[in-house]
């Protein structure tokens, strides 16, 4: 049914204090087509459309007119202006239509009242009315404006899609959700490895095709599932890969390394897993590296799982192990040894050392060396000592001095300086070597004791110093070197 135009009387009251020219214009609806002749137009989302509206001048004589385009608001019966044009005046564009509506060029093949709407939105769908109002003309006929209905078609677009990769265990149940929007409403189709999904006792399609449900997953259910959304304007697809989850596996394990003190070392520990949320844990000699105070400021575990120590110190030598897991199955581990090399160094200098008179004795040089010790030089009373040319003195493999028979001439101030392939970190401090007569036994154990199993045996031993009044320290040990059992002694 046609819509009747509404007529209003406008009363204008002017109060002026001086002469002001006033133009009084009476707006009369122009002669345009009726509602029953509505034009239906279909447009594609994002494209442009022209509403072709003719202007029929009274008696074919051009007169001034106002062009107004309105859009009907749903089923409310209300119309909102989206475009108003009057020659030589600024145009008005309604909210949401700014920059998208314009009057077509008078030189175009369209009617003078035609409207160009660009960048079509889905919200643009609906009823539009073209109104032409002539100025300074008495009404001689009244007709409704020309009506247009705009249908906006949009190709499908996904609003919900499943994850690209879905990790499962055999026997699991999953739901793949795929939803799409568009005009007309898209149809949803499901494919597995390029073949249409066939519903079965464990596979079903629900909720207008938007849900693919798989229960009690088996090996044959593993694969690529593709959701296709299509309508008359196009087709889109999204593929989700269903994969059996697997535990972490170390692909690039760490390898043994040798570094010099002060250098940087990096141990690799590259792992793969499904899913790939791999956690890497590093330990040194079974202690987490993050809990070793000496490493705290020098150790870094990188995102790829590798361990970096920068710089390394002599005490960093040891067995390093990486352990990887993604929560599935047992953690996997691999280890490597770090050897830190440095110049030989003296770690401790005793102020006084004693040698037993007329017995064998040792003056120790406490050394740490990597690579192994090559040789040690000694001084006695600030003069170089040549053990190989000195009677009764031998340099042991650990660098200490062995005196095969001590005499008073061996007393003095000694220093030692160790060397290896990287050189030395310096000499020891001065060690005062004193020659003393050894303690003597005042009571010795018997050569042989015979007892039955389970019985108790007592062995007596006592001694006194040859010089001084201090009691000697007495220690017991088995001749075969085996340790004594403390709970039985």
Q: Quick one: average pLDDT of 13-26?
A: 27
Which tokens go with 73? 């608001």
Per-residue confidence (pLDDT) for residue 136, from 0 to 100:
65
Per-residue confidence (pLDDT) for residue 142, from 0 to 100:
41
420 shares its domain with 387? yes
Tens digits of residue pLDDT in 411-427: 999 999 999 999 999 99
140 shares its domain with 171? no
53 shares its domain with 118? yes
Residue 39: inside a domain: yes
Per-residue confidence (pLDDT) for residue 403, from 0 to 100:
95
pLDDT over 60 at 141, yes or no: no
150 shares its domain with 60? yes
Per-residue confidence (pLDDT) for residue 26, from 0 to 100:
33
pLDDT over 90 at 388, yes or no: no
The CA distances from residue 37 to 28, 75, 143, 149, in Å, are 21, 20, 12, 11
Q: Quick one: average pLDDT of 195-207?
A: 95
322 shares its domain with 361? no
Q: pLDDT band at 35, cuts 50/70/90?
A: low
Residue 262: inside a domain: yes
Separation between Cα atoms, residue 137 and residue 113, nearest integer Å: 18
Which tokens go with 237? 């697809």
333 shares its domain with 347? no
Domain boundary among 196, 218, 244: 244
Bond into 376 cis (ω within 30):
no
Tens digits of residue pLDDT in 49-76: 999 999 988 888 888 999 999 999 887 7
Helix (H, G, I), strand (E, B) or coil at 410: helix
Total length of the chain: 489
323 shares its domain with 419? no
pLDDT over 60 at 11, yes or no: no
Residue 471: inside a domain: no
Contact 273, 248 (CB under 8 A): yes
Separation between Cα atoms, residue 257 and residue 268, nearest integer Å: 11
- State the alpha helices, DSSP H only, in 214-330: none
Separation between Cα atoms, residue 149 and residue 362, nearest integer Å: 112
How many structural domains comprise the chain?
A: 4
Tens digits of residue pLDDT in 89-130: 999 999 999 999 999 998 999 999 999 999 999 899 999 999
Q: pLDDT band at 152, cuts 50/70/90?
A: very high
Q: Quick one: average pLDDT of 431-445?
A: 90
Q: Report the relative pairing of strands 27-29 and 126-135 from DSSP bridges.
A: antiparallel
295 shares its domain with 368? no
Sheet strands (E) in 105-145: 115-117, 126-135
Instruction: Supply the DSSP symbol for 186.
Output: P
Q: pLDDT band at 138, cuts 50/70/90?
A: low
Higher pLDDT, 481 or 328: 328
Separation between Cα atoms, residue 400 and residue 353, nearest integer Å: 12
Contact 349, 367 (CB under 8 A): no
Residue 3: inside a domain: no
Q: Quick one: average pLDDT of 268-275?
A: 90
Separation between Cα atoms, residue 228 and residue 381, nearest integer Å: 95
Q: pLDDT band at 469, cuts 50/70/90?
A: low
CATH no. for residue 126? 2.60.40.10
Closest CA to 289 of 273, 312, 260: 312
Separation between Cα atoms, residue 226 and residue 71, nearest integer Å: 41
238 shares its domain with 139? no
278 shares its domain with 291? yes
* Cα 50 to the center of its chain, rounded Å: 51
Residue 9: inside a domain: no
Residue 43: inside a domain: yes
225 shares its domain with 281? no
Residue 73: inside a domain: yes
As beta bridge partners, residue 213 has: 175, 204
Which tokens go with 432? 């005062």
Helix (H, G, I), strand (E, B) or coil at 409: helix
Domain boundary among 244, 276, 304: 244
Tens digits of residue pLDDT in 310-349: 999 999 999 999 999 998 888 999 999 999 999 999 999 9
Q: Quick one: average pLDDT of 6-12?
A: 29
323 shares its domain with 371? no
Domain boundary among 210, 244, 278: 244
Residue 223: inside a domain: yes
Per-residue confidence (pLDDT) for residue 402, from 0 to 100:
95
Domain around 393: 343-436
Q: Report the relative pairing of strands 92-93 and 79-86 from DSSP bridges.
A: antiparallel
pLDDT over 60 at 294, yes or no: yes
Per-residue confidence (pLDDT) for residue 207, from 0 to 100:
95
């Amino acid at each position: 049914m046609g819509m009747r135009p509404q007529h209003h009387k406008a009363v204008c009251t002017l109060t002026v204090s001086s002469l002001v020219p006033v133009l009084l214009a009476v707006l009369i609806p122009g002669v345009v087509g009726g509602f029953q002749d509505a034009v239906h137009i279909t447009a594609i989302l994002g494209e442009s459309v022209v509403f072709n509206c003719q202007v029929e001048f009274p008696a074919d004589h051009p007169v001034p007119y106002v062009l107004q385009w309105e859009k009907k608001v749903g089923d409310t019966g209300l119309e909102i202006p989206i475009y108003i044009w009057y020659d030589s005046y600024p145009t008005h564009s309604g909210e949401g239509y700014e920059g998208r509506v314009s009057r077509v060029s008078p030189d175009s093949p369209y009617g003078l009242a035609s409207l160009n709407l660009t960048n079509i939105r889905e919200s643009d769908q609906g009823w539009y009315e073209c109104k032409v109002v002539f100025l300074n003309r008495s009404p001689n006929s009244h007709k409704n404006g020309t009506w247009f209905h705009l249908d906006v078609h949009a190709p499908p677009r996904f609003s919900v899609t499943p994850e690209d990769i879905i990790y499962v265990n055999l026997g699991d149940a999953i739901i793949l959700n795929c939803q799409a929007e568009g005009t007309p409403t898209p149809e949803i189709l499901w494919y597995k490895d390029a073949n249409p999904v066939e519903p079965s006792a464990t596979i079903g399609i629900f909720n207008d095709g938007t849900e693919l449900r798989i229960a009690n997953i088996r090996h044959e259910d593993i694969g690529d599932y593709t959701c296709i959304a299509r309508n008359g304007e196009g087709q889109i697809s999204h593929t989700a890969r269903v994969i059996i989850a697997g535990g972490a596996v170390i692909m690039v394990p760490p390898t043994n390394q040798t570094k010099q003190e002060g250098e940087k070392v990096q141990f690799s520990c590259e792992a793969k897993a499904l899913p790939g949320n791999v956690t890497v844990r590093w330990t040194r000699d079974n202690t987490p590296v993050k809990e070793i105070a000496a490493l705290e400021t020098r150790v870094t575990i990188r995102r790829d799982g590798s361990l970096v120590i920068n710089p390394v110190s002599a005490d960093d030598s040891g067995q390093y192990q990486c352990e990887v897991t993604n929560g599935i199955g047992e953690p996997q581990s691999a280890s490597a040894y770090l050897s830190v090399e440095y110049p030989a160094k003296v770690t401790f200098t005793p102020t006084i050392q004693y040698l037993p008179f007329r017995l064998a004795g040792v003056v120790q040089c406490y050394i740490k060396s990597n690579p192994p010790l090559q040789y040690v030089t000694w001084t006695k009373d600030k003069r170089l000592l040549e053990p190989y040319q000195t009677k009764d003195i031998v340099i042991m493999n650990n660098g200490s001095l062995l005196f095969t028979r001590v005499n008073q001439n061996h007393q003095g101030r000694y220093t030692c300086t160790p060397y290896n392939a990287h050189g030395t970190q310096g000499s020891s401090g001065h060690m005062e070597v004193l020659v003393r007569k050894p303690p003597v036994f005042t009571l010795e154990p018997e050569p042989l004791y015979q007892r039955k199993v389970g019985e108790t045996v007592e062995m007596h031993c006592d001694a006194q110093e040859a010089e001084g009044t201090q009691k000697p320290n007495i220690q017991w040990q088995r001749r075969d070197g085996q340790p004594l059992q403390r709970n039985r002694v």
